[in-house]
Amino acid sequence: MKYYAIIVAGGSGNRMQTETPKQFLLLNNLPVLMHTIRAFAQSDAQPKILLVINTEQQGYWRRLCEEFNFRIPHEVIDGGSERFYSVKNAIDFIEEDCVIAIHDAVRPLVSKQLIDHCFAEAEFKGNVIAAVQSSDSVRTLKNNKSAALNRDEIYLVQTPQTFKFSILKEAYTQDFTTSFTDDASVVEAVGYEINIIEGERNNIKITYPIDLELAELLLKR
Ligand X SMILES: C[C@](O)(CO)[C@H](O)COP(=O)(O)O
**How far is the C-alpha of 106 from the C-alpha of 34, rounded, in Å?**
10
105 vs 110 by CB, closer to ligand CTP: 105
**How far is the C-alpha of 74 from the C-alpha of 40, rounded, in Å?**
11
Stretch that binds ligand CTP, among 76-84, 150-158, 162-170, 211-219 (CB under 6 A): 76-84
**How far is the C-alpha of 161 from the C-alpha of 118, rounded, in Å?**
8
Question: Measured from the CB of residue 199, what is the shortest distance to ligand X in angstroms?
Answer: 9
Scanning residues 52 to 71, which ones bind ligand CTP (CB under 6 A)?
52
Pairing of strands 3-8, 48-53: parallel
Q: Which of 47, 89, 104, 122 is close enough to bind ligand CTP by CB under 6 A?
A: 104
91 lines the binding site for ligand CTP (CB under 6 A): no
Q: Which of 11, 47, 108, 126 is close enough to bind ligand CTP by CB under 6 A?
A: 11
Say if residues 197 and 161 touch (Cβ distance below 8 Å): no
Q: Which of 187, 141, 143, 138 is nearest to 162 (CA)?
A: 187
- Find the length of the chain: 221
157 binds, among ligand CTP, ligand X, none (CB under 5 to 8 A by kind): ligand X
Scanning residues 159 to 178, which ones bind ligand CTP (CB under 6 A)?
none
DSSP alpha helices (H): ranges in the chain?
32-41, 58-67, 83-93, 112-125, 165-171, 183-188, 209-220
x-marked contacts with ligand X along 116-155 as a string, rule CB under 6 A: ----------------------------------------
Q: By CB under 6 A, how many residues form the interface with ligand CTP?
A: 21
89 lines the binding site for ligand CTP (CB under 6 A): no
2 vs 205 by CB, closer to ligand X: 205
Say if residues 102 and 164 touch (Cβ distance below 8 Å): no
Say if residues 130 and 198 touch (Cβ distance below 8 Å): yes
Stretch that binds ligand X, among 52-60, 143-151, 156-164, 193-201 (CB under 6 A): 156-164
**How far is the C-alpha of 124 from the C-alpha of 59, rounded, in Å?**
39
70 vs 85 by CB, closer to ligand CTP: 85
Q: What is the distance of C-alpha 62 from the center of its chain?
A: 21
20 lines the binding site for ligand CTP (CB under 6 A): no
State the residues that interact with ligand X by CB under 6 A: 83, 104, 157-159, 181-182, 205, 207
